[in-house]
Amino acid sequence: MTDQSWLAEQFERSRPHLEAVAYRMLGSVSEAQDAVQETWLRLSRSDGAAIDDLQAWLTTVVGRISLDMLRSRKARHEYSAGSWLPEPLVGEPDESEPEQQAVLADSIGLALLVVLESLTPAERLAFVLHDVFAVPFDDIAEVIDRSPDSARQLASRARRRVQAAPQPDRDTALQRRVVDAFLAAARAGDFEALVGVLDPDVIFRTDTGPAGPLARPPLAGAGPVARRVLGTAPRFANLARPVLVNGEAGALFGTYDDPIAVIGFTIVRGRIAELNLVADPAKLRHLTIEP
């Protein structure tokens, strides 16, 4: 086996890990794949024999590439009306491994990714690499061109923001019961039942794309959110199928081949604290890749 073939084999073994790092940095499946591909290009042009720890090298490189992409995206990002939401990861409900599902949701839940999007790129990198993937601060400092103490402070600030956000219930069976009650109330047009499953301070975010005709700012409060839902849901609720959205109970409107929208729910103390609706066609294309 040639050195290049060996590098390619090792890289493919690391690909799932690298895609996981990039997705948590970027909240985008397509951008994460681009970041991983660029990581391979840099590896293929490097002297593999000079790399002591290939996994660590790849992790810091994909982190650096993701950081640059995130900075570029934030510089051009303008969602004048609607919200920016991550590209959702959608899968079939799986009740056989609830503990594993809860661990997964802790690191890719939509509520967490929304908070991460509010951080500076450097804060996000420090948090993701250290708190999620246990990368030492010395290595993170090289990526962001700061001291290890500065990297530690960035991660600490990010951690406080994450901990201040709603902490979701991790009981997937409870999540599903709440979501089913929400959908039943929406189908029936039952305002009181809908309000009953919503947290009084619930937030409803909608991402139809930067130029989406239905783009609206986030809506807060159980009453206003219930009225917004009942304005459209009775027409679409029958199209909803139960799925996991970033490891938590959610719904897919339409099919994997022809998705209309995906909605993720953040359940806190048995009520819906956040609804995140992704209807940007560009963010749903990847659903056809792997139902």
Give 10-residue mean pLDDT values along the chain (291 residues).
Answer: 79 95 95 96 86 92 96 70 85 67 70 93 96 95 95 97 90 93 93 97 91 76 96 79 93 91 96 95 78 31
CATH number, residue 200: 3.10.450.50
Say what the pTM is: 0.88
**What is the total count of domains within the chain?**
2
Q: Residue 129 in contact with residue 63, Cβ under 8 Å?
A: yes
Q: How far apart are CA 278 and CA 44, in angstroms?
A: 36
Confidence at residue 103, expressed as pLDDT on a 0 to 100 scale: 60
Q: Are both 222 and 131 inside the same structural domain? A: no
Q: Are both 71 and 135 inside the same structural domain? A: yes
- Going from the C-alpha of 234 to that of each of 136, 242, 255, the distances in angstroms are 50, 16, 18
CATH number, residue 138: 1.20.140.160
Q: Which domain holds residue 217?
A: 172-288
Flag whether 103 is in a domain: no
Q: Which of 111, 142, 164 is the last residue before a domain boundary?
A: 164
Q: Residue 236 in contact with residue 277, Cβ under 8 Å?
A: no
Q: Are both 259 and 190 inside the same structural domain? A: yes
Q: Are both 154 and 177 inside the same structural domain? A: no
Q: Are both 188 and 74 inside the same structural domain? A: no
Q: Are both 49 and 185 inside the same structural domain? A: no
Flag whether 106 is in a domain: no
Query: With 0-12 CB in 10 A as exposed, 13-18 as middle and 19+ as buried, what is 53?
Result: exposed
Q: Are both 221 and 146 inside the same structural domain? A: no
Among candidates 187, 180, 233, which has minimal Cα distance to 206?
233
Confidence at residue 79, expressed as pLDDT on a 0 to 100 scale: 53
Residue 101: enclosing H or E segment and its boundaries? Answer: helix 98-108
Confidence at residue 50, expressed as pLDDT on a 0 to 100 scale: 82
